[in-house]
Structure 1
Amino acid sequence: MLLLSQVRSLHVWGVEQKDGGLRSECLWNIMRLTLDEALAVGSQLEIAAINGTDIIPLSPTLAAQCGYSMDSDPWGNTKVFVSLLGCYVDNQADETFNLGLRFQMYGDGLSKKVQRDVTETCSYSRWASREILYFQVAISIHGFTVHLDPGGIWKMTFHTPDSKVMVLKDAHRAGYGAMTTPTRLVLRSPYNMPETYAEEVAGVPMEVFSVSTYYKQVRRLAIIVAAAACPTGGLVFTDEVITWYVPRRIPPLISSAFKILETHMGIDGQRLDKTMMAIRRYKLSITESHVVIELPVGSPDGYYKSHAPDYSYHITYTVEPMLELLWRAEDTQADTRYKVLFPITTPLMPRPPHVTEIPEQKVFNVLLGTFLHDVSLLNITFTTGVLTVTECNARGFDFQEHRFANSSKTFSLQVPFSDEVVLKHNPNPLTTVYFLPLVFGLLILPEQIPFPHPAELEASLEDVVLPTTTGFCDQDNFYISVKYGSQGDNFQIMMLHAGSWRELDTELYSLTDNNTHVSIVVPYTAPDTVFEAVQSDSIRARVDLLLLETPNMWQLNDLSLACNFPLTMTECYPNGTVTALAVKVESVRNLNPKYLTLSDQSCKPVFSNDRFAFFSFNLNSCGTTRTFFDNVMVYENEIAMHHSMGKHQSRKGLINPDYRHTVSCYYLVNDTETMAFRTRPRNSDPKADPGVGQLVVQMRLAQEVSYDIFYQTEDYPVVKYLQQPLYFEVELMRSTDPRIALVLENCWATLHEDRTTLPSWDLIVDRCENLDDRYIVFYPVVADARVHIPAHVKRFSVKMFTFTTDETVLKEQIFVHCDADLCDTTKPDGICSGQCASPLRNAKPLKPTDISQHRISSGPIILSDSSNFV
């Protein structure tokens, strides 16, 4: 609104009143009323002027004509500006002004209409000769002194710059205001009227209102020419500062030299002193061509507002500075007060929300922001659906809103990886990639403008626990246990069969699944086992198992379990019959056992399959040879794949067509003597005298001094720490004759299996512990459930520090050997008198001829210390 007036006197003072959310202030030539958000939010506001007993509603057109202006921010904080020279103001000689306004509020948030009446008295007498006032859409110009009659205005000529004439009635109808006060002529024009025009001054666009008013007086006609020019631009924006340029010299208002007397800067019509400007970091300066005001973006006198064009988050900052100038023309000495209230809103500033992931084990910890206080989060869209904020917290997603001192806010959300809204996949066997797509449903208040913000969160963790496999054996089966990993049963169990992997046949093997483990029992003769080696009394079999993840075909784990199983390969019977078993071992994978023969190729297996060939023959047939050694007769034959059999099978692809397995039988040969005998009646029952046979002596290594548990053949080599003793037991096997005693003649240790190699360490010498070594201990043997004849058993221990080389304790593999004597206790002598019966070492007694000596050795024992043994 454009407001023009002519005044003479100069003086001002102001009063502030407060009434329940309403505040009124006299600010020089205007009055400002402020309505708090708490009173106006959510309601519609109507303002009426109180003119005595009349209540005049102020429509936008009437307000512009009469010097009223209203502005509200989005939250309902309302400012009403009233010119002291406005309509319906009780004007006392242009010095004292009584104003009355009625505020009426109604809406959904109010149960009934709320009405407030405000009255204010302002005093202002420091009028300049001409005053130009521009607030929002209003400019006020005051001119020179005349004697005015309230009914004297005849017509008005508007210069656009072409002339356009209107009588007062037509001017009012067009929206212009024209009135007189006791000493002044007041003219007003709304902004952007047809009779105003644009003009650029010093690079600043301005709106110009120029009018000549014809005023009737007694016997004469007076013409008052008035002009006003208000800036509509002149703004420069950066991210930190708003710069407002106003021309220093405005040609429509100044035609001669002038002098600036006062410059003031203010906010919302209120002047600011230099101290407050410094605190707010406002700057006011004058250049050769401009008056310049600088305002920092974000000053507390303005406010930020959120926007979402095209669903993209932006903000603006709005502030309403005031510039007030007072200058004096040098030719007429007339003063002009030029006041502009200029609301400024920055261009849209993009502020895309940032989604920050805060690392936390097994949880997506999301921080979304930063937003202004007028943004609210309504809901979040997950892959499974939409959840409100309340539903998120009820589900265990920790949602919080964080407010800061500058009124900004952020939102935080925690979603555990284990929830179904989190997608996951494994790029490799050990890594899990967790993926959480989100759409945050945001809302701008109070306009209720929704805008979504999508986000995609991703985290990778090496958190996969792979399944593990363990196994053991008994005399007949492999026992395999598969423990599930963190992915459950996401694998297939594969068995190696004939060199290739195939899925485990659940019908062939016994399987037990308890949701945490799978237990499998595999007979050592099963098709999926392989035979590594055979010995005379055992076979070494192996099973290979693979855990395969599908569909990626990742090998999660494997197990290769090999054990020795008891199996008699050759049996020699007293009647001269021999049975022999030939086995297809891994090293001859292409062997077909049915084509194996004995030395006589006509002697074929009596039974065969793809893994075994079983022979049964007489020692006098099939090309069996016989050899004598001392009192032993040895029969030998050979099971082999002979080249002449090639015509029966394809030899293409055979790795090694030669297969040989020697079958040996050992028989003791008796001496034959001629003797005479005669019969006579017997006086007593016949009795059996000792005959010729074999006595077996074995050496075993016990796990503890109790001698209850012993290491088995498959346990070798046995690993022992240096601080652990070795507990040995030597026993006469399969004998119940109490007349036989076992005596250890000599025991020693070597680094190799050959008992004659060096270096060697003496343990027992001449049936007694080595006197040079204090680490040998004999243990007494008593009868128990296992030992029936204590004389058949000898026990001793060796501490590891016995084995030294160059005064350094040995940490290598050793073998222990002993010479054991068996003697007849019914014929006591130096040997059968007991272990270490005579401590004299000088004279070694001669052994009787009936003494039987046996040589025995242990399996390999590895000496280690705990610091380097893994």
Structure 2
Amino acid sequence: MAFGCWVGVVVLLSVWPSVRCSDLPRGAIETACRDRYLLVTTQLSFAGNKPRFEAVDADGVHPITKQYGSECGYMFSILPLRGHAELRASYFSCHTDNQDDEVFTFSFNLITIDANGVEATYSVTATCSLPLPWSPREVSCEENYMEVSMRSDVSCLSGTTDAWTAALAHSSATSTWQVMFQQEGQQLIPMSFSEARELGYVFHLTRGRLVFRSPYTPRSVMGSINGSVVEVVHPILFSRQRWVVMMVDWIVACSTNEGMYDGAGLVWQTPTLLSPLVSGLSGLESSKISMGVDGQLLDEPITAERGYSLDISDTTVQISIPFNAAGGYRKSFVMDNMYREFYVVHLYYEQIFLDDCGVETRLRLHRPMNTPLLIQHLSIINQTVLEDRVFTVYLGNLSYDVDLVVVKLNGHDFTIPEANKSGLVITMVPQPNSTLHAYILRVPFEDAVVHKLYSPEGLLQFSLDINYTLVILPQEEPFYYLASVVAQFNDVFPPVFKGICNEKSISFQMDHKSFDYLWEVGVGPYILTTNLAAKLGYIMQNDSKSLNLEVPLFSVGYTYKDINLKQFYGSFEIHSRLPKTLEVKSSLAKACLFQTTEVIVCSTEGVVTVVTDVTLAIPGAEPNGTFLLDSTCRPQETDDTRVLFSFGLHTCGTRVQHVTYENDINVEHKSQSVNAPVKSRDTASVVTVRCVYPLSDLYKLFAYWRFEADSPGVGTILTRVPVKSKCSVVVQLKRVVKLLQLFTPDSLSNHSISAHLSTHYPHHHQKTVDLHNYFQHRP
């Protein structure tokens, strides 16, 4: 008989194991019965150092080394991508208990060494039952060996003339089984099974099957078929029994292609028919081809969903698996701060074919494939929507073993918990249709870490420099990835004010725009707020659409010029500025022409300008006969009742009371004689004018003995009148109410102050209100 053997892919079987683990930590070992082998896995975290296995049978223990495994049907490997060690044991492995080729019992010792160098041994047993009947011929091409088994009653006329001749020539010498390895151009030399075993070949007879197993060396022959590398072993067994010579012609051929990376995925190719398997008169015809991963065949809908492709032609079979498709594994590395990785797939392939005798052969193949070490380009997508005013940055294409630990935003470091507590948001999300994941970073434009740049041309730019710190697990090896995002708005300008002149006030109006929050509205050095407006006597209305501000005449913040008895200019300035630098970006100084009634102005240059009606103090007094404490200081302008004085704070006999400057307007009295007029010092005939300046200006006064104020003073006109002019107290009170509101802890109305003074000063003969006495007497 001649038996051809070919490569096949292992099929996943629905076989239930019976496993006994003695003194084994829970979950440390897992076993699974597959189609034609037992799978044993152990977690590396449990194993500490690399674990090792021993096969156990009645004869003792047998260490499963690399060489011994390839001879006896064991494939052991460390799989760091999955985090475990893996042992695959053939049902026909050397030390497996075989019951009628139907039930197979395995016994192993798992030996581990912990971090302290202490060795521990654990017993593992498993029993697998055969769910799928054996095909007449079955071939398994493992990673480290080739194995073929066939039913002992399969017969079909085959074999070469040279093989029969050699078998007949040597069979007369002995009746025991011998083996010859046929190689092209070399003489067939018989040897015993024990001699073949020393070369690494194993021949085994079960109750109903013949088994042959071979490492890929030393006597295999390498060849190429349709561009694929094929390894062939051609043993011939023969024996003479009386007048009959029996011969078993085995040819084992395995495709050893490792696959290739074509830039898009992994590609593996094998001949559709392996011609070395065709021996003598036998032929070979493929009937079914299937593919899968990790020892499990997959149906067509699943392979299509994952993007796998199986292309079959008359000469070749080609399998393509896209990079990062489900069923494979990625492993990440860092080299020179470059994120690199490779992708690994454990291909499982099966082919069924028939020979000329109608005998079915099932071929199975295990083949790991991996890409070269690739530079992995992360994907940065700026998903920011300007209207949301939030930076939204997508960092994707990260493998499962890559974690984000820190983000540096414009130089400020945040861990993910810190960022989420600070109003930033970092979210890990899966990528659609892949095993990858991504991170989404959200940072509001107004956050303190965001850089803002504004140009006078109305260009507003928000920018964020991001430095991602990522680590490769489990070793936590870090690498860094940089990104920058910019959001830009055009036609962004500071608030625009409109000013309107009223009879006794100036009104300002500003329509709100979307970016007004970038600036603050100010009056002088102060931010315009509701509290400030109430304190200074402004009338302010502010809603979502506009800001309206009415500033009564003589309120704090006014400046005056060109004062005469008929009219004067009063101006008030409102501006917008940057909150941090206080740099003024836009302003409106509205100047209005007002009619002159009574005015007192204390300028920052230390000049007092006053217009007052002197006849209120002395009915019938002549304005052109008035003077100050220094009698040489006369009015610049007069009319029938009023005078206009303008004098420096250190001139005209002005009194200094702390930071209060006072002067008196005196009225000349005509003598009954022809003598010259006499200056009156009677308080009943004196008008006192007073300017109060902030304390902060004192240092300039004492340092230079000259006046330099940062802001105008607050002026009052204090006229002394007879008792009969009681009603004028209320008139004068209106003049000083603004001053009282500035320096008192609460805001008092004219009516409340009038009522209070009426109570405490019922018999006062002067119109003068002394603030010191007022505060001493107020409740």
DSSP 3-state at the match of 1:65: helix
DSSP 3-state at the match of 2:212: strand
Q: Give 1:455 deviation, angstroms.
A: 1.5
Change (3 A) 1:446 1:197: farther
Change (3 A) 1:247 1:559: same
Cα offsets for 1:413-433 (capped at 9, x unmatched): 333444443222213364432
Which residue number in structure 2 is paired with residue 139 of structure 1? 146
> Is the CA contact (8 Å cut-off) linking 2:576 and 2:585 kept in structure 1?
yes
In 1, Cα distance between the equivalents of 2:453 and 2:256?
A: 63
For the aligned residue pairs, the C-alpha RMSD in angstroms reads: 5.8
In 1, Cα distance between the equivalents of 2:516 and 2:301?
A: 71
> Is the CA contact (8 Å cut-off) linking 2:391 and 2:442 kept in structure 1?
yes
Aligned equivalent of 2:421, options 370, 391, 394: 394
Letter of the structure 1 residue corresponding to residue 593 of structure 2:
C
Which residue number in structure 1 is paired with residue 273 of structure 2? 249
Aligned equivalent of 1:451, options 468, 479, 484: 479
Q: Give 1:232 deviation, angstroms.
A: 0.6
In 2, Cα distance between the equivalents of 1:385 and 1:109?
A: 42
Aligned equivalent of 2:223, options 192, 199, 218: 199
Which residue number in structure 2 is paired with residue 119 of structure 1? 126
Change (3 A) 1:226 1:470: same
In 2, Cα distance between the equivalents of 1:184 and 1:383?
A: 72
Within a 5 Å distance, the mapping from 1:201-350 to structure 2 comes to: 201-204=225-228, 206-210=229-233, 212=235, 226-233=251-258, 239=264, 244-255=268-279, 258-260=283-285, 262-267=287-292, 268-271=294-297, 286-293=312-319, 300-303=326-329, 311=337, 318-330=344-356, 336-345=361-370, 348=374, 350=376
- Answer with 1 or 2: which has the greater Rg: 1
| Residue 524 (structure 1) aligned with residue 554 (structure 2) | no
> Is the CA contact (8 Å cut-off) linking 1:306 and 1:372 kept in structure 2?
yes
Cα offsets for 1:385-431 (capped at 9, x unmatched): 43322222333323332347865433233334444432222133644
| Residue 382 (structure 1) aligned with residue 409 (structure 2) | yes
Aligned equivalent of 2:450, options 422, 431, 448: 422
Change (3 A) 1:542 1:86: closer
In 2, Cα distance between the equivalents of 1:293 and 1:358?
A: 41
| Residue 561 (structure 1) aligned with residue 591 (structure 2) | yes
Letter of the structure 1 residue corresponding to residue 561 of structure 2:
Y
In 1, Cα distance between the equivalents of 2:503 and 2:408?
A: 58
> Is the CA contact (8 Å cut-off) linking 1:284 and 1:293 kept in structure 2?
yes
Change (3 A) 1:410 1:293: closer
Aligned equivalent of 1:69, options 75, 86, 108: 75
Which residue number in structure 1 is paired with residue 15 of structure 2? 15
> Is the CA contact (8 Å cut-off) linking 1:65 and 1:188 kept in structure 2?
yes
Change (3 A) 1:251 1:409: same
> Is the CA contact (8 Å cut-off) linking 1:160 and 1:195 kept in structure 2?
no
| Residue 52 (structure 1) aligned with residue 58 (structure 2) | yes
Letter of the structure 1 residue corresponding to residue 364 of structure 2:
K
Which residue number in structure 2 is paired with residue 98 of structure 1? 105
Letter of the structure 2 residue corresponding to residue 46 of structure 1:
R
DSSP 3-state at the match of 1:141: strand
Letter of the structure 2 residue corresponding to residue 84 of structure 1:
Y
In 1, Cα distance between the equivalents of 2:220 and 2:202?
A: 16
DSSP 3-state at the match of 1:82: strand
Which residue number in structure 2 is paired with residue 514 of structure 1? 526
Within a 5 Å distance, the mapping from 1:815-826 to structure 2 comes to: none
In 2, Cα distance between the equivalents of 1:17 and 1:223?
A: 35
| Residue 352 (structure 1) aligned with residue 370 (structure 2) | no
Within a 5 Å distance, the mapping from 1:439-478 to structure 2 comes to: 439-446=467-474, 448-461=476-489, 465-466=494-495
In 2, Cα distance between the equivalents of 1:161 and 1:440?
A: 64
Cα offsets for 1:109-166 (capped at 9, x unmatched): 9999683512224459966676432123332235796999xx9788876859889999
Q: Give 1:377 deviation, angstroms.
A: 1.2
Which residue number in structure 1 is paired with residue 715 of structure 2? none
In 2, Cα distance between the equivalents of 1:212 and 1:460?
A: 77
- Name which of structure 1's ranges 451-460 and 19-28 shifts more when overlaid on structure 2: 19-28
> Is the CA contact (8 Å cut-off) linking 2:16 and 2:129 kept in structure 1?
no
Q: Give 1:226 deviation, angstroms.
A: 4.0
DSSP 3-state at the match of 1:64: helix
> Is the CA contact (8 Å cut-off) linking 1:368 and 1:411 kept in structure 2?
yes
Aligned equivalent of 2:392, options 341, 344, 365: 365
In 1, Cα distance between the equivalents of 2:418 and 2:119?
A: 36
% identity of equivalent residues: 18
TM-score (norm 1): 0.48
Cα offsets for 1:553-603 (capped at 9, x unmatched): 996334352535769xxxxxxxxxxxxxxxxxxxxxxxxxxxxxxxxxxxx
Q: Give 1:289 deviation, angstroms.
A: 1.3
Letter of the structure 1 residue corresponding to residue 383 of structure 2:
E
In 1, Cα distance between the equivalents of 2:47 and 2:452?
A: 47
Q: Give 1:62 deviation, angstroms.
A: 2.2
DSSP 3-state at the match of 1:75: coil
Letter of the structure 2 residue corresponding to residue 263 of structure 1:
K
Q: Give 1:247 deviation, angstroms.
A: 0.8
Letter of the structure 2 residue corresponding to residue 210 of structure 1:
V
Letter of the structure 1 residue corresponding to residue 224 of structure 2:
E
Q: Give 1:250 deviation, angstroms.
A: 1.7
In 2, Cα distance between the equivalents of 1:38 and 1:381?
A: 35
Letter of the structure 2 residue corresponding to residue 376 of structure 1:
D
Which residue number in structure 2 is paired with residue 732 of structure 1? none
Which residue number in structure 2 is paired with residue 188 of structure 1? 214
Which residue number in structure 2 is paired with residue 81 of structure 1? 88
In 2, Cα distance between the equivalents of 1:101 and 1:132?
A: 25
Letter of the structure 1 residue corresponding to residue 473 of structure 2:
L
Question: Structure 2 stretches of 5 or more lacking a match?
Answer: 7-11, 20-25, 154-166, 533-555, 598-634, 638-725, 729-779
DSSP 3-state at the match of 1:342: strand
> Is the CA contact (8 Å cut-off) linking 1:480 and 1:520 kept in structure 2?
no
Which residue number in structure 1 is paired with residue 670 of structure 2? none
In 1, Cα distance between the equivalents of 2:349 and 2:286?
A: 14
> Is the CA contact (8 Å cut-off) linking 1:547 and 1:556 kept in structure 2?
yes
> Is the CA contact (8 Å cut-off) linking 1:40 and 1:77 kept in structure 2?
no
Q: Give 1:17 deviation, angstroms.
A: 1.9
Cα offsets for 1:195-226 (capped at 9, x unmatched): 5554331122x241435578898999989664
Change (3 A) 1:520 1:337: same
In 2, Cα distance between the equivalents of 1:123 and 1:486?
A: 77
DSSP 3-state at the match of 1:62: helix
In 2, Cα distance between the equivalents of 1:222 and 1:271?
A: 35
Letter of the structure 1 residue corresponding to residue 233 of structure 2:
S
Which residue number in structure 2 is paired with residue 826 of structure 1? none
Change (3 A) 1:152 1:77: farther
Q: Give 1:437 deviation, angstroms.
A: 0.7
Question: Structure 1 stretches of 5 or more lacking a match?
Answer: 7-11, 492-510, 527-534, 568-613, 617-783, 787-870
Change (3 A) 1:564 1:394: closer
> Is the CA contact (8 Å cut-off) linking 1:236 and 1:243 kept in structure 2?
yes
Change (3 A) 1:481 1:515: farther
Which residue number in structure 2 is paired with residue 819 of structure 1? none
Higher helix share: 2
Q: Give 1:52 deviation, angstroms.
A: 2.9
DSSP 3-state at the match of 1:428: coil
In 1, Cα distance between the equivalents of 2:500 and 2:300?
A: 89
Q: Give 1:541 deviation, angstroms.
A: 8.7
